[in-house]
Structure 1
Amino acid sequence: MSNKIKCSHILVSKQSEALEIMERLKNGEKFGKLAKELSTDSSSAKRDGSLGYFTKGMMVKPFEDTAFKLQIGEISEPVKSEFGYHIIKRFG
């Protein structure tokens, strides 16, 4: 397992919003488009949700634990942190 990974995320405040986004993703909508449109993390939203590369210890624990378990190209179920609900997609 790599100690440096690349992910994007969509951050929303409510679980119900995250579940609606998951449905839209399952119906074929593009992750980056939804991140730009709906994510409350304005800095990453401008970059299709991209957080770039990071290592363990750089992100909040619930996010990190999930991100490092994902396979490249895989999208997580909503993950709750103190910032809200994240949907994470791993790129590398």
Structure 2
Amino acid sequence: MVKEVHAAHILVKDEAKAKDLMAQVQAGKNFGELARKYSVCPSKKKGGDLGWFRRGQMVKPFEDGAFSAKKGDVVGPVKTEFGWHVIKILEQR
């Protein structure tokens, strides 16, 4: 069972932009570059990298998306109170 996830994300304010970014990532665009350019989260400076977290540290919809995926997966768009997220799973342990 996965206890911790190391993830990056791109946070935007509308679903259409999140869907567009998801499509770009799936087409092979660099996730970190997209995060630096489009994300409204301060993590954009680090390519969206959020570091390691366990259950209970993130808002539930984000956490559910992150913990339902496998290393290397990109999930989204996921809606939270902060906006729309595209989440990339970097590592699990």
Same fold (TM over 0.5): yes
Q: CA deviation at 1:41?
A: 0.1
Q: Which has more strand, going by share of residues?
A: 2
Runs of 4+ in structure 1 over 6 Å off: none
Give aligned pairs, total: 91
Secondary structure of the residue aligned to 1:59 is coil
Q: CA deviation at 1:26?
A: 2.1
Secondary structure of the residue aligned to 2:7 is strand
TM-score scaled by length of structure 2: 0.94
Q: CA deviation at 1:27?
A: 2.0
| Cα separation, 2, equivalents of 1:37 and 1:67 | 22
Q: CA deviation at 1:77?
A: 2.1
Specify the alignment match of 1:13 in structure 2: 13
TM-score scaled by length of structure 1: 0.95
Specify the alignment match of 1:74 in structure 2: 73
Structure 2: runs of 5 or more not aligned: none
| Cα separation, 2, equivalents of 1:27 and 1:66 | 20
